[in-house]
A = this chain, B = another copy of it.
């Protein structure tokens, strides 16, 4: 940090704090509901969604960690726990040197198939029902833009992190 910090304006501070508070509330409520309805943690659901979306229900361990921005150690511990519960398996790939795959199991497919409609209903009740179509459209575009910038390798934040 070589520069004077650009402090937030009152409007920026108000919006950012509301956004942080909403994330806390929504994540807390949705994860408790998911656990109560389906016996899955938010982390379980996150991993199962990523694998369900991937070809053949499998992703490289490191790609999976990067996609959801978890530290490797966190992903490793979590995959170990999910493996013990039969929701995913690890498949080693010694021939190409690019590391193991994580693969969703039939039990994992069944778990997310059963959880999804209940989770969707909770997302509606807690969030979507209170957002207008115009707001949702704006939010979607805003989120895509921010994700694109965070994923861009030339983003200043990435450079700082690489050097940290």
* Contact A36 to B131, CB < 8 A, known contacts A22-B146, A146-B126: no
8 A Cβ contacts from A123-164 to B: 123-128, 130-131, 133, 135-140, 142-147, 149-151, 155-157, 160-161, 164
A136 to B137 CA separation, bound complex (whole angstroms): 14
- CB neighbours (8 Å) of A156 from chain B are 125
Give 17 A-B pairs besides A37-B164, A122-B157 with Cβ atoms closer than 8 angstroms: A5-B120, A5-B121, A6-B120, A12-B128, A16-B123, A18-B140, A18-B143, A22-B146, A25-B69, A25-B146, A26-B150, A27-B69, A29-B157, A130-B142, A130-B149, A131-B142, A135-B142
Q: Is the CB of B15 within 8 A of A137?
A: yes
- CB neighbours (8 Å) of A145 from chain B are 130
Q: How far is the CB of A161 from chain B (nearest CB, A)?
A: 6
- CB neighbours (8 Å) of A128 from chain B are 8, 12, 16
* Contact A15 to B143, CB < 8 A, known contacts A68-B24, A69-B25: yes
> Is A33's CB within 8 Å of the partner chain B?
yes
Q: How far is the CB of A57 from chain B (nearest CB, A)?
A: 18
> Is A55's CB within 8 Å of the partner chain B?
no
- CB neighbours (8 Å) of A161 from chain B are 29, 32-33, 36
Interchain residue pairs A-B with the least CB separation, the first 8: A28-B69, A15-B140, A5-B117, A18-B143, A36-B164, A22-B143, A15-B136, A25-B150
Q: Is the CB of A146 within 8 A of B127?
A: yes
> Is A98's CB within 8 Å of the partner chain B?
no
> Is A118's CB within 8 Å of the partner chain B?
yes
